[in-house]
A and B are shown apart, each in its own frame.
Chain A
């Protein structure tokens, strides 16, 4: 008996993970605060400690307008200037 899959195909090309960064020395780190409670504190602390350990520079701390929606295009353009972006954090 033949049954049809209810999943269908995926409409978008899969996103690829960025290549590992060999060294962060002298590189720009950015933080994207996703708007969840304590996200800015947590993520900025991680970025600052990472910068100290790797001789990188925290160049930008940006925030989404709300946790419930994607980051605005202008925010993404600003983040693109950094080599690494630290983000994440749920409730």
Chain B
């Protein structure tokens, strides 16, 4: 659709667009004509707003955060700031978005595959440490949303970078067959005050006050347990959610599972002396399917050699080849609902410090 002349007055060819005003009508027309946005209203990325965003933290606006495929767009601090403005971020959130974008461009994420696949995968952004309270993230009731500006706008800003800088628009750059709701925004915060275990980022060797994890996966798969007073029955439900044939992780052995425990489930588990590693080990042992069931379901598998070498169809195979691929942390509020997030398969999560 061509932009009406009265709304778009010019483009100087240097990434600046002249519009008559920032009325909803003018912005809608601009977004539609350029293929920008996620279908929801945006904040106009004026020079003033972007400069205000860049004024926090003092990062070099031209500093590179990485290259975003498949368009191979250059993600600079300035470009990320423009997208953060559009997404509705407050200026103090820019370091979080920048850290997440930088993490996504790491080779182990396999972002080209994540962006272009027919799978519905979306990067989950998990925020850790002192930035959670300082910037107003919701780690408690409803952490996955809706209703909190920091969670919503950070996840949305990351999505905007993937769409605008990376070119991952549905049908062109993003081939996801059905998409998924978490492609709009997908950001939570770790509930470290209610966690019985070390903060997640520190368990991954990141010695920083604040950090962010990016993990490319499916929407959350809920599991509820209102009754169990001990870990085995409770975590058997998590294992049941993990051991399904529908996920990419069923035929790809290096996949990760993020197990996001609610505080009450975590307390029940830790109350019996179980640490994070115990949860990982238990789920590795319990989340299994018979080799014959898996091979009947898939003509092609991408399994590590030791798994591929097993020929007995009665052997129970783990859903991932290493307990460390099962990542455990605490988020959410009161109640007894937790979730499992299976990865896309050929991707690894990354945790990095947030630079002030």
- Which of A's residues lie within 8 Å of B, judged by CB? 1-12, 35, 37, 65-66, 68-70, 90-91
Contacts and interface: CB of A to CB of B under 8 A. Distances in A.
B288 to A, nearest CB: 23
A12 B67 contact: yes
Contacts of A12: 67, 72
11 contacts: A2-B16, A2-B17, A3-B30, A6-B86, A7-B36, A8-B73, A8-B165, A9-B15, A37-B299, A66-B302, A69-B346
Contacts of A70: 112
Contact of A10 (B73, B83, B112): B73
B323 interface: no
Nearest to B18: A2
A63 B19 CA distance: 50
Contacts of B50: 4
Contacts of B344: 68
Given A7-B15, A68-B346, A2 B113 contact: no
Contact of B22 (A1, A8, A9, A11): A1
A43 B221 CA distance: 37
A73 B17 CA distance: 41
Interface string B1-35: 00000000000000111111110000000100000
Interface string B149-175: 000000000001100110000000001
Contact of B82 (A1, A4, A37, A66): A4
A3 B73 contact: no
A9 to B, nearest CB: 5
Interface string B94-114: 000000000000000010110
